[in-house]
A and B are shown apart, each in its own frame.
Chain A
Amino acid sequence: GQNIDQPTEMTATEGAIVQINCTYQTSGFNGLFWYQQHAGEAPTFLSYNVLDGLEEKGRFSSFLSRSKGYSYLLLKELQMKDSASYLCAVVDSNYQLIWGAGTKLIIKP
């Protein structure tokens, strides 16, 4: 079967750095997305990795290792507005998105 694993909840302090991990087992791989979702809103696109390595976009970075079936989202200089759910999703061989359950990130002052 297809499976995406990420922690259910994480807590971090304002100004700190947090890493949210995602491991996957899917039928084929055509990329991995990270999305941010605030309560009651639609997800917002953060990053898309299809090749191994680290991609940096401002305070957010995303890393992918296809051989290990592993990705992480790194958030630096955390702000209170970063409190949200972070969703990992893998595109399988049929271009279907396989979603993780999301990681709820709680930022404390």
Chain B
Amino acid sequence: GAVVSQHPSWVICKSGTSVKIECRSLDFQATTMFWYRQFPKQSLMLMATSNEGSKATYEQGVEKDKFLINHASLTLSTLTVTSAHPEDSSFYICSVLTSGSPREQYFGPGTRLTVT
């Protein structure tokens, strides 16, 4: 299956600062990547669908100006949490969707963000 990496694996930042999380598809060119968020003891929640070369599609309730997504190449998508607040502390996970049939989804290892 596809290998997906995320960087950083964990980050602590101060309230009001911005944090960038990278998601790389190491051995597969992904036109579609997903960004998820998981709060403690809750299921994964889809934040947005990242499409290479076009604007991301955000889920209802996700602020597009706060969570900036850039999918500039077939192997890299970035999520920037702008003006982070303690309530943004969460586990952020990206995934890639294969283009074959049937389509399969592979997840990155996740990034744990703590905003103090």
Contact = CB atoms under 8 A, between A and B. Distances in A.
A96 interface: yes
B105 A97 contact: yes
Contacts of A44: 107
Interface stretch (A18-26, A67-75, A98-106): A98-106
Chain A, interface SS category:
loop
A97 B34 contact: yes
B18 to A, nearest CB: 23
25 contacts: A30-B103, A31-B102, A31-B103, A33-B105, A40-B112, A42-B91, A42-B107, A43-B44, A43-B93, A43-B107, A45-B1, A45-B104, A45-B106, A48-B104, A50-B102, A87-B43, A87-B44, A95-B32, A95-B97, A96-B49, A97-B34, A97-B105, A99-B44, A99-B45, A101-B42
